[in-house]
Structure 1
Amino acid sequence: MSKLLTPDICVVGGGSGGLSVAAGAVQMGASVVLVEGHKMGGDCLNYGCVPSKALLSAAARPGMGFAAAKDHVAKVIASIAPHDSVERFQGLGVQVIEDYAAFTGPREMQAGGYTIRARRFVLATGSSPFVPPIKGLENVPHHTNETLFKDRTQPRHLLIIGAGPIGMEMAQAHRRLGSKVTVLEGLKALGRDDRELAAIVLGALKDEGIDIIEDAKVAEVSGKAGAITLRLEDGRSFQGDQLLVAVGRRANIDRLNLAAAGIDTASGAIVVNTGLRSTNRRVFAIGDVAGGLQFTHVANYHAGLVIRAALFGLPVRASTAHIPKATYTSPELASVGLSEDEAREKYGDKLEILRAPYAENDRARATGQTAGLLKVFAYKGRPVGAAVAGAQAGELINVWALAMSAKLKLSAVAGMVSPYPTLGELNKRAAGAYFTPRLFESKWVKRIVRLVQRF
Structure 2
Amino acid sequence: MAVENRIIDLLVVGGGTAGIVGAKTAAGFGARTLLVEQARTGGDCLWTGCVPSKTLLSAAEHSATARTLTGQPLEFAAVRKRIFAAITTIEPVDSPAALEDAGVEVIKGTLTFRSPGVAEVEGRTIRFRQALIATGAAPVSSGIPGLDPGVTVKSDTIWELDALPARLAVVGGGPIACELGQAFARLGSEVTMIVRSRILPKEDPDAADLVRESLASDGVRILENTTVENAVTTDAGSRLLLRDGAAVDTDTVLLATGRTPRTVGLGLERIGVSLDNAGQVITDSRMMTSNPLIWAAGDVTANPQFTHVAGVHASVAASNAVLGLKRQVSGTVPRVTFTSPEVAAVGLTTAEARLQHRARTVRHSHVDRAVTEDTTGGFTRLILDRRGNILGGTIVGPRAGESLAELTLAVQKGMTTSDIAGTTHPYPTYSDGVWNAAVADVRERLASPVVRQAMAGLVWFRRRWVGRPRSRHLRSACPGTTTTGRP
Quickly name the TM-score band, shorter chain normalised: over 0.9
Unaligned runs of 5+ in 1: none
Q: Is 1:220 the equivalent of 2:230?
A: yes
- Give deviations 1:116-137, integer Å, cap 9, x for gaps: 2111100000100012411123
Q: Hey, what does 1:54 align to over in structure 2?
A: 55
- The correspondence for 1:417, drawn from 424, 433, 439, is 424
Corresponding letter in the other structure for 1:253: T
Question: Using the alignment, how far apart are the partners of 1:66 and 1:202 within structure 2?
Answer: 25
Cα root mean square deviation, aligned: 1.7
Q: Is 1:38 the equivalent of 2:39?
A: yes
Which one is further off, 57-66 or 421-430? Answer: 57-66
1:47-446 pair list within 5 angstroms? 47-61=48-62, 62-63=65-66, 64-137=74-147, 139-223=149-233, 227-266=237-276, 267-320=278-331, 322-340=332-350, 343-344=351-352, 348=354, 350-379=356-385, 380-440=387-447, 442-446=452-456
- Give deviations 1:269-317, integer Å, cap 9, x for gaps: 1111222111111100111111121111111110121122112211122
Which one is further off, 271-280 or 68-77? Answer: 271-280
Change (3 A) 1:317 1:48: same
Q: Is the CA contact (8 Å cut-off) linking 2:147 and 2:233 kept in structure 1?
A: no
Question: Using the alignment, how far apart are the partners of 2:252 and 2:109 within structure 1?
Answer: 33
- Give deviations 1:17-70, integer Å, cap 9, x for gaps: 110011121122111000000121000110011110000001111333221111
Question: Using the alignment, how far apart are the partners of 2:235 and 2:52 within structure 1?
Answer: 24
Q: SS in structure 2 opposite 1:250?
A: strand
Q: SS in structure 1 opposite 2:206?
A: helix
Question: Using the alignment, how far apart are the partners of 1:263 and 1:138 within structure 2?
Answer: 37
Higher Cα radius of gyration? 2
Corresponding letter in the other structure for 1:248: G
Ranges of 4+ aligned residues in structure 1 off by more than 6 Å: none
- Give deviations 1:116-169, integer Å, cap 9, x for gaps: 211110000010001241112364530101111231211111110001100100
- Give deviations 1:48-93, integer Å, cap 9, x for gaps: 1111000000111133322111111100011000000011112222
Which one is further off, 86-95 or 75-84? Answer: 86-95
Q: SS in structure 1 opposite 2:156?
A: helix
Q: Hey, what does 1:15 align to over in structure 2?
A: 16
Corresponding letter in the other structure for 1:434: D
Cα distance, 1:104 vs. partner?
0.3
Report how many residues are paired: 450
Q: Is the CA contact (8 Å cut-off) linking 2:23 and 2:318 kept in structure 1?
A: no
- Give deviations 1:296-350, integer Å, cap 9, x for gaps: 1111110121122112211122342x1001100010001101230xx40xx6252
| TM-score normalized by the length of structure 2 | 0.89
Question: Using the alignment, how far apart are the partners of 1:282 and 1:226 within structure 2?
Answer: 55
Unaligned runs of 5+ in 2: 67-73, 467-487
Q: SS in structure 2 opposite 1:186?
A: coil
Cα distance, 1:444 vs. partner?
2.8
Corresponding letter in the other structure for 2:357: L
Q: SS in structure 1 opposite 2:419?
A: helix
Q: Is the CA contact (8 Å cut-off) linking 1:70 and 1:150 kept in structure 2?
A: no
- Give deviations 1:211-238, integer Å, cap 9, x for gaps: 1110121101222695111101122100
Q: Is the CA contact (8 Å cut-off) linking 1:17 and 1:299 kept in structure 2?
A: yes
Question: Using the alignment, how far apart are the partners of 2:104 and 2:234 within structure 1?
Answer: 46
Question: Using the alignment, how far apart are the partners of 1:295 and 1:287 within structure 2?
Answer: 8
Corresponding letter in the other structure for 2:292: R
Q: SS in structure 2 opposite 1:231?
A: strand
Cα distance, 1:173 vs. partner?
0.6
Corresponding letter in the other structure for 1:34: L
Change (3 A) 1:82 1:283: same
Cα distance, 1:449 vs. partner?
2.6
Question: Using the alignment, how far apart are the partners of 2:418 and 2:36 within structure 1?
Answer: 47
Which one is further off, 437-446 or 27-36? Answer: 437-446
Q: Hey, what does 1:24 align to over in structure 2?
A: 25
Question: Using the alignment, how far apart are the partners of 2:3 and 2:207 within structure 1?
Answer: 56
| TM-score normalized by the length of structure 1 | 0.95
Q: Is the CA contact (8 Å cut-off) linking 1:140 and 1:222 kept in structure 2?
A: no
Q: SS in structure 2 opposite 1:366?
A: helix
Q: SS in structure 1 opposite 2:8?
A: coil
Q: Is the CA contact (8 Å cut-off) linking 1:221 and 1:229 kept in structure 2?
A: yes
Cα distance, 1:260 vs. partner?
1.2
Cα distance, 1:2 vs. partner?
9.3
Cα distance, 1:113 vs. partner?
3.5
Corresponding letter in the other structure for 1:360: H
Question: Using the alignment, how far apart are the partners of 1:5 and 1:149 within structure 2?
Answer: 41
